[in-house]
Chains A and B, each alone.
Chain A
Amino acid sequence: MLKKGGFVLSAGLVVLLMVALIYQIKNKYYLDILFMTFFWASLAAAWNISGGYAGQFSLGHAAYVGIGAYSTALLYINFHVSPWIGMVVGGLFSALLALFIGVITVKVRGPFYTLITIAVAELLYISAIQLKELTHGSEGVSLPFKPGWVNMTFRERETYVVLALLFVALIYFITKTMERRRIGYYLIAIRENEDAARALGVPVKEMKLLATVLSAFLTAVGGAIYAMYIMFIEPDSVLSFAFSIQPALMSIIGGLGTSLGPLIGSFVLSPLDMFLRESFSHINGLNLLIYGFLLVLFVLFWPEGLWPNAVRVYRKWRSGGVETKS
Chain B
Amino acid sequence: MLLQLTVSGILLGGIYALIAVGLTLIFGVMRIVNFTHGDLVMLGMYLTYLLYKGFGLDPYISLFIVPLALFLIGVLIQKLVVQRVVGRPHEVQIFATVGLSMMLSNAVLAYFKGDYRSVQTTYSTDTIQIGPVFLGVPQIVAFGISAVITLVLFLFLKFTYTGKAIRATTQNRISATLMGIDVRRVYTMTFAIGSALAGIAAVLLMPLYPTYPSIGEAYLLIAFVVVVLGGLGSIPGALVGALIIGVVETVSAYYLGSGWKQAAYFVIFILVLIMRPQGLFGQRGAEQL
Q: Quick one: which of A55, A57, A288 contacts B102, CB cutoff 8 A? A: A288
Nearest A residue (CB) for B213 = A285
In angstroms, how far is the closest chain B Cβ from the Cβ of A215? 15
* Bound form: Cα–Cα A108–B287 in Å: 6
Chain B interface, DSSP helix/strand/loop, else mixed: helix
Question: Does A96 sit within 8 A of B, measured CB to CB?
Answer: no
In angstroms, how far is the closest chain A Cβ from the Cβ of B82? 10
Interface size class of B (residues with CB under 8 A): 35 or more
* Pair B113/A284 contact, Cβ less than 8 Å: yes
Asked if A122 meets B102 with Cβ closer than 8 Å, knowing A104-B273, A109-B90, the reply is no
* Pair B221/A295 contact, Cβ less than 8 Å: no
In the bound complex, residues from chain B placing their C-beta under 8 Å from that of A29 are: none
Interface 9-residue window, one of B145-153, B188-196, B259-267: B259-267
Asked if A116 meets B102 with Cβ closer than 8 Å, knowing A57-B90, A57-B94, A252-B91, the reply is no
In angstroms, how far is the closest chain A Cβ from the Cβ of B221? 7
* Bound form: Cα–Cα A249–B100 in Å: 13
* Bound form: Cα–Cα A119–B101 in Å: 17
Interface size class of A (residues with CB under 8 A): 35 or more
* Bound form: Cα–Cα A303–B94 in Å: 12
* Bound form: Cα–Cα A51–B113 in Å: 33
Question: Does A248 sit within 8 A of B, measured CB to CB?
Answer: yes
Question: Does A299 sit within 8 A of B, measured CB to CB?
Answer: yes
Asked if A130 meets B99 with Cβ closer than 8 Å, knowing A57-B94, A123-B267, the reply is no
Q: List 20 A-B contacts (CB under 8 A).
A: A51-B91, A59-B94, A104-B270, A105-B273, A111-B94, A114-B94, A115-B228, A116-B269, A245-B102, A285-B106, A285-B109, A288-B106, A289-B106, A292-B101, A295-B95, A295-B96, A296-B81, A296-B99, A296-B103, A299-B92
Which residues of A does B touch, CB under 8 Å?
Answer: 51, 55, 57, 59, 104-105, 107-112, 114-116, 118-120, 122-123, 126-127, 129-130, 241, 245, 248-249, 252, 256, 283-286, 288-289, 291-296, 299-300, 303
* Shortest Cβ-Cβ A-B pairs, 8 listed: A292-B102, A295-B99, A285-B106, A285-B109, A111-B33, A110-B90, A292-B103, A296-B99
Which residues of B does A touch, CB under 8 Å?
Answer: 33, 81, 84-85, 89-96, 98-107, 109-110, 113-114, 213, 217, 221, 224-225, 228, 257, 259-260, 262-263, 266-267, 269-270, 273-274, 277, 287-289
